[in-house]
Amino acid sequence: MSELKFENIDVGDNLPALTKPAVSRTTLALFAGASNDHNPIHIDIDVAKAAGMDDVFAQGMLSMAYLGQLLTNWVAQDQIRSYGVRFGAITHLKDKVTCTGRVIDKFTEDGENRIRVSLQAANQDADVKLRGEAIIAF
């Protein structure tokens, strides 16, 4: 799948960005079922309000799955050695998440050529929701 070569990648290169459709209640309901996360705060407005929220809101792992797609759109999944994020802010209904990434290091480890990429997911107002990193092998 991947025609990228280690020698052709430079620190500072950007990954092709990925913008997902706006988050809807249907998105959250489908992801709750598909991800086995049945926490009602994401799908039942009564529960969300009882917890002090204005409305239901996205599962953090939904945005993490989107950022994972940014990676697997760029390289084959079996090249990914690790992938981690910090959840910084809640993703709300109608947020349109754009995932971006940038190569920040190239190195050799465990006998493999590897790169480190920094990752970010932000909404249409450039509010950052997640930041993370991944290690990819070539």
Where do contacts with another protein occur on this chain (CB under 8 A)? 1, 20-21, 27, 30-31, 33-39, 41, 51, 60-62, 64-66, 68-69, 71-73, 76-78, 80-87
Beta carbon of residue 67, minimum distance to another protein (angstroms, whole number): 9
Beta carbon of residue 51, minimum distance to another protein (angstroms, whole number): 5
Cα(101)–Cα(35) distance, rounded to whole angstroms?
24
Cα(128)–Cα(122) distance, rounded to whole angstroms?
4
Beta carbon of residue 111, minimum distance to another protein (angstroms, whole number): 15
Comparing CB distances to another protein, the nearer of 12 and 135 is 135
- DSSP percent split of the chain into helix, strand, coil, nearest 5: 30, 35, 35
Query: Any idea how long the chain is?
Result: 138
